[in-house]
Structure 1
Amino acid sequence: MNLRTFPPQVEQLARQWRGEVLTSSTWTQVGDVIEHFESEPFFVRSSEGETGLAKPGTVEPPVHQLPRAAHEKIASDLAFDLGLPVPPVLLWSRSGAGPKQQRYASISALAFPRANPWAMAARLSSRLLPRLAAVASAMAVFDSWVANADRQNDGNLLVSEDDSVSPPVLRVAYLDFANSLAYRWGKGERWWKWEEGVACYPDGVPWDVRSMALAIGEIERFPPATLREIVNRIPGSFLSEQHRTAIREGLSYRQSRIRGIMASMYPGIP
């Protein structure tokens, strides 16, 4: 399964960042914090000229309560291995952070130029929704596996019709996994047993049973050793042992139940 439509240079960066955890580059904030976002994200540029979006910018809630940066990295690595369109992510220990700024952040690479949030692209929904069916269906399975509580948000899906290549490509990126994984699972109880799924997004997109079934199969076959590697390599400053254990156990538990979770929402899944 490969539903990633990022430009070649972004895919090259994704392969590189999949093999890394913490950035070794020097990053500089570009412009002000982006307003009206709870996590206070901001754009950054590296010493090598790469650009990205850093988050969270705020120290609240603290990492030991909600490890948002770790969630972003884990979700990005899982999605890369599954062939799903989540941009590459690295962790950033922000040494110059102020007292109200988060030191333990993530940096997400910019997925493609001329990226439009779904809030802007929705006016073209009658034309775009059928073309999003396969990727939206697969991402619903992924969101359900990682218990993403923030998918229904028209700022968390980017699309771009790229006519600079032949044939033209509809580029898609699903963003924001801060409120997934330990957001519910790390509260001292086995919340991952709450077998609720996440619906296809955007609203009104036709669901593709074949794509959903393929994604379910890929997650069911996801190697346990790779899952542990992705979670275990997150530094302790970004992820407490309580949250690490909850994430490992939650992903493993839901991996074996993902077919039933999705079938309860979308009857007809084989």
Structure 2
Amino acid sequence: MIKRIALLAAAACGISMPRNMLPRRVKREETLPLHRAVAIRGGGDAQDVAARALGYCIGAGSTILFAPIVYTLATQKSADGLSLSTFTLSLCGYSCSAAYNFKKGHAISTYVESVLLAVQCAVISFVCAVLKGIAVERVLLGSIAYVGAALLLLLGSPPPRLLAVLQVWATSLLLVSLIPQLYLNYSRKEPGQYSPVTAGLSVLGNSIRIFTTLTLTKDPLLLLGFALGFSLNATLLGQIMFYT
């Protein structure tokens, strides 16, 4: 009580208070690092801790998710078997998902792969555009527009309704993103250059994310996105295996 009165008096007089007297910002438990959350709980709920650990494993695994596709592009010097639309839409979808989670204050373990996959999709999109002979001016214009939109989302203060729309966009873009690749494979009656390893890991990753979402955030929009991602990647994997 005395400290509260002192703070009010100092504010009225325009006097700055020592840092140790200022109220501390308390983080929500779900936003704390894994070891901090476990310490607070005295060991923690086993399912919750497992979900957090799996989240970090997904993040680590996502660093090489698109590595087989990058390797194929580097060795074959061709992107004829890949749909550029798939990776540009995926780039936008993963970026929207990462921005949504960041603004909602979710733990980094729940969306770290969205950030890493967005970076990989950006690289693949750029390489595909170059190999397909798209004008450099168009590539630069698209890159500038993407960076500008990303900075606007991260540095701004979007209202809660816009955040919900953002995740709906992310889900929609990621849902639509695989359709061009599915159509390309179907029209050519071959598996194309999309790696079955990438599709298989995506199926596994989305199934794990369904578990971590149900355990940690219980966010229905995220849950819908991962369920749809699981279904589409499973379809793509089945198509690749069928045409192989």
Normalising by structure 2, we get a TM-score of 0.29
Bigger relative CO (Cα 8 Å, ≥ 6 apart): 2
The structure where strand makes up a greater share of residues is 1
TM-score normalised by L of structure 1: 0.27
Quick check: which one's helix share is greater? 2
